[in-house]
Structure 1
């Protein structure tokens, strides 16, 4: 796998952080696909699950797929959500895992984690938490999680191999990886150009 240069890594990271600083303020005109409850319904999240969300939380959903359709989150499980953004999937995972389980959301955007913390306060769940983290260097123990889930994060990760290596380190033996993502196909573009083009 071709490894991006340090310069490309810095440029791509800067573009993504700038984008999600804006997303944390408003989803309007940010994505080319449905967001909020319309997105949750269109991606066939269980209606009883997303209807439980307060409107002021549900409106921040901006995923590209339904990672929970890949296997059930069971009561008592420990879930890690990579690139959690505003935390909607993390909060839903915490609801499914129940009081005996946990859900941790991580993101490298300060602004998105602040938004996730605000959303957490609106649902009053005790078993959900959020941290600012580089997904290629996860601050968790080996085999800590039953499930790792990610929704449109891997396509934005510069060091995809590093992220996946960390994922399999923190997953328990027999654990599950839920990935919902999208693929950008572009020719003769720098990494920064590709990311900029993707967001337009």
Structure 2
């Protein structure tokens, strides 16, 4: 059953977008660490805006992507119990996306921005390894959480009820996370400013 959880992680991307890559890619994770870039937010003389790039935002973006993967897989897993659980899990997932889509989109945009920066500084191979490392870690974190909730992939109705209740209560929302919520809120604002500046160029 554990293999089923991992397969589900591969098939379920964030909001229908395939995000998963090989979580066992140690080389990609090492490359991601080596490719770290630090930049402060700034406007150029032409008015272009570049969001800050730093370790705190790297970690927060990975967290958001992992939560997106986890949310989709939880809904898929709990839906296999019975119709009632399927309906509640699907509703909880939809609610989560309504509240968190902006943060996940900002995280994806940030990773794409980081990849572009690494590509300019270190080349295409390093940029690809950076992106793959981020996605591999996000996937690994989501799998670890699923396995802690559902050992051996068991379909436990009581655990599904508890987790789904947390989604409905908002405690699984990205903004409610003490470690990353504020960082992601600021990142979302910066990425919007970045997109706005690009659209006027």
Q: Which of the two has higher C-alpha Rg?
A: 2
Scaled by the length of structure 1, the TM-score of the pair is 0.22
Scaled by the length of structure 2, the TM-score of the pair is 0.22
